[in-house]
Amino acid sequence: MAGLGDGLGFRVYVDGAKRVARAARRLGDKGLQRALRRAHRATANVVVPVARQQAPKRSGRLARSVRAASSTAGAVVSAGRGGRSAVPYAGPIHFGWRKRGIRANRFLYRAAARTKRRYTEVYETEMREVARRAFDTH
């Protein structure tokens, strides 16, 4: 999937995903664009509960800030964003901050690694459905 985990630096690329998204936009097929966003969101949502479980917990705000977002070109699983619920320490917790003695806890990376088989299956299933809908002539 193009761009899974963009928020704190984790990405998985699928060759051709951006070309499919561009083609859907050029065709102006809103249904196909929605289907692509749904497929990407479903894929990212596989990682979210595991990332929330893996997040270090003092108050629980960091775990609650883990979110999935999607577009026609890909999806993102991120932590630390979210308006009133923003968690500015998400980056230092995930990547560490040597000067402050904060060791990296790459919970998003671990969650993505642990769910790779499942999100790959979900992505393949969802994209088959997108292709079936796109090329269904009936």
The pTM score is 0.80
Q: pLDDT by residue (tens digit) across 52-105?
A: 999 999 999 999 999 999 888 888 899 998 666 689 999 999 999 999 999 999
Helix axes 116-135, 107-114, angle to 10 degrees: 60
Assess contact for 1 and 40: CB atoms under 8 A. yes
Task: Report d(CA 3, CA 77) in Å as an integer.
Answer: 9
Question: Taking the domains of the chain in order of start, what are their residue ranges?
Answer: 6-133
**∠ Cα 24 27 31 (to 5°):** 60
DSSP string spanning 26-92? Answer: HHT-HHHHHHHHHHHHHHHHHHHHHHHHHS--SSSHHHHT-EEEE-SS-EEEE-S-SGGG--TTHHH
The answer to whether residue 14 scores a pLDDT higher than 90 is no
How confident is the model at residue 104, as a pLDDT?
94
